[in-house]
Amino acid sequence: MFRVAPAMVIRGNNGEVVNVAPITSAMIPQSQGSDGGSRISNEQQRIQRTNRQETSMTNNDILRRIRYIFDLSDSEMISLFNAADQEIKRSEVSDLLKRSDDSAHLVCSDTLLATFLNGFINDRRGKKEGPQPEPETELTNNIIFRKMKIALNLNAEDTLEILALAGMRVSKHELSAFFRRPGHKHYRDCKDQMIRCFLSGLQIRYRDTPP
């Protein structure tokens, strides 16, 4: 099994996480090849490239990543929207998945991504009795993280293992702060880098790792 060095976690004077620096190649221990040279796995190289990318993620980026991780077809994407009572055309799904430099690119709003994630929860965990809850009109990374965690039925240990696959190591206490209600004294904003590492870890677990 490959080993990934943790991301650099920067803490303030009170010991709380204030920033997360992306992994660089200099931070990752390299094993020695048979010729005495350094050798790192393809998986480690891929994670390094991912973490060196821009940390800002759009709703469209997240939608594309989820589609790729779980190998969802257009029909399955439509079904997930439908599971949260959202009608959507195949052409609209296609345009949501296009890159921003494509003239047909359709911006994924907070409400639309929230609807998709609600449908993902319903599909994976079963729809609760009663009316479908209204999707959020304003999404935060904390809400996105929580919805994904619910949909995949992940406990704290599972989530920490997934983050570690992408080189991100945080404590259970630090993780729980992302799922507190805003205004709670221990609530912490979830940064884009954390979401990126979570999705990278999901990709390793659900798509890249052989069964």
Mean pLDDT (10-residue bins), the chain, 211 residues: 47 54 45 44 54 72 97 97 97 96 97 98 94 94 98 97 95 96 94 95 86 53
DSSP letter (8 states) at residue 129: S
- Backbone dihedral region of 130: left (phi > 0), alpha (psi from -120 to 50 degrees) or beta? left
What is the C-alpha separation between 202 and 204, in angstroms, rounded? Answer: 5
pLDDT at 46: 59
Q: How many angstroms separate the CA atoms of 19 and 164, rounded?
A: 17
Q: Closest by alpha carbon to 87, among 41, 40, 51, 119?
A: 119
What's the predicted TM-score (pTM) here? Answer: 0.74
Helix (H) or strand (E) holding 162: helix 156-165
Which amino acid is residue 7, in one-letter code? A
